[in-house]
């Protein structure tokens, strides 16, 4: 408690900076574009606006800490889990961490007492399978932060504690999406853009906020693609083949505004993950990674 009290007394919080967002109606946006004026700039707080940069910084810090442990400047000490001693903050930490995950995936959060109840029921699992899996995964993370880069330096684990089987194998290469002369689902040729992309790739469009028309024009000008379908999860934002061209009125609307109207919820982050469909200049269908559309 003395250590926590000391840290709290000497911690200086950053001053809160309010977001400055200019909201304009579709009519105002149309008048502004006709006048040739630029889109309004949103001034946001820096923290949390760029996930990739935050993750990069955390990985760099983790690499520095790892080096300290390797060189002996820092020592690792075991901590015994005890759910009934509130002064050790074990349950408090678990509550905060699990609720962060719950909030991220929009599932129900749990208070301190419910977390302690759940932890008491799963202690036998923590001491067996969970501990073993956590150790195996953490071992692979240690390899990664120390700069291991070859695939055969990592391991998949196949473990059955009931019959005492432990088998480790080299992981397979990640599956790559390639163009096909004939796709049985689309009943024709399909082109992968870019060729050989994986499930870990994405295409970033950092020119927002954009209307649907400008978003479509972006892919026309940069990749020579005819975009006819735009979706976000299970929500069809734009479909050029709707009967009577019902989605045509959406072309001058902002993508994020339309998403919030259809989903009946506010977007938690300043980007949307979109998927698009359409055809290439040669007339074949195409596949490409998810689009990270940053609109602020």
Answer whether residue 209 is part of any domain.
yes
Residue 47's pLDDT is what? 46
Is the domain of 209 the same as that of 142? no
CB 289 within 8 A of CB 204: no
Q: What pLDDT does 50 receive?
A: 59
152 and 107 in a common domain:
yes
Provide the β-strand partners of residue 274: 291
What pLDDT is stored for residue 37 in this prediction?
81
| Alpha-carbon dihedral sign for residues 169, 71, 2, 57 | negative
> Contacts by 114-121 with C-beta closer than 8 Å and gap 24+?
115/91, 116/83, 116/91, 119/83, 119/91, 119/94, 120/83
119-143: average pLDDT: 84
Residue 49 has what pLDDT?
52
Are both 86 and 152 inside the same structural domain?
A: yes
**19 falls within a domain:** no
CATH, residue 228: 3.10.290.60
The 3-state DSSP class for residue 72 equals: coil
Global confidence as pTM? 0.54
Of 44-53, 66-75, 239-248, the range with the lowest mean pLDDT is 44-53
Give the list of residues 6+ apart from residue 238 with CB closer than 8 angstroms, or none. 212, 229, 230, 247, 250, 251
- Asked whether residue 41 is domain-assigned, the answer is no
Range of the domain at 276: 180-294
- Where among 169, 191, 212 does a domain terminate? 169
Tally the domains of the chain: 2
> Among 106, 138, 169, where does a domain finish?
169
Q: What residue spans of 71-168 are helical by DSSP H?
A: 90-104, 112-125, 131-145
Does residue 97 lie within any of the structural domains? yes
Residue 67 lies in a domain: no
152-167: average pLDDT: 90
Give the model confidence (pLDDT) of 183-221 as tens digits: 887 788 889 998 999 999 999 999 879 999 999 999 999
Please tell me whether residues 160 and 185 are part of one structural domain.
Answer: no
| Same domain, yes or no: 109 and 136 | yes
């Amino acid at each position: 408690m003395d250590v926590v009290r000391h840290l709290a007394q000497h911690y200086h919080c950053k001053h809160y900076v309010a977001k400055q967002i200019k909201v304009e109606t579709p009519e105002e946006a149309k008048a502004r574009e006709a006048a040739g004026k630029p889109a309004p700039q949103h001034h946001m707080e820096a923290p949390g606006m760029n996930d990739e940069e935050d993750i990069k910084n955390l990985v760099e810090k983790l690499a520095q800490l790892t080096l300290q442990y390797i060189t002996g400047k820092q020592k690792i000490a075991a901590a015994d889990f005890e759910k009934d001693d509130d002064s050790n903050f074990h349950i408090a930490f678990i509550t905060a961490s699990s609720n962060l995950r719950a909030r991220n995936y929009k599932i129900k959060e749990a208070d301190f007492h419910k977390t302690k109840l759940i932890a008491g029921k799963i202690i036998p699992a923590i001491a067996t399978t969970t501990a073993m899996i956590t150790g195996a995964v953490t071992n692979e993370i240690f390899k990664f932060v120390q700069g291991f880069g070859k695939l055969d330096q990592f391991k998949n684990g196949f473990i059955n504690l009931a019959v005492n089987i432990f088998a480790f194998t080299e992981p397979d290469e990640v599956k790559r999406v390639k163009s096909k002369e004939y796709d049985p689902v689309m009943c024709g040729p399909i082109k992968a853009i870019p060729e050989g992309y994986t499930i870990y790739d994405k295409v970033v469009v950092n020119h927002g906020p954009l209307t649907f028309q400008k978003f479509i024009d972006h892919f026309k000008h940069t990749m020579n693609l005819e975009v006819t379908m735009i979706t976000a999860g299970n929500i069809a934002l734009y479909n050029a083949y709707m009967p009577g061209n019902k989605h045509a009125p959406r072309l001058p609307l902002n993508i994020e505004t339309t998403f919030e109207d259809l989903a009946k919820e506010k977007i938690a982050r300043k980007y949307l993950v979109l998927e698009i469909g359409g055809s290439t200049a040669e007339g074949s269908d195409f596949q490409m990674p998810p689009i990270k559309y940053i609109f602020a």
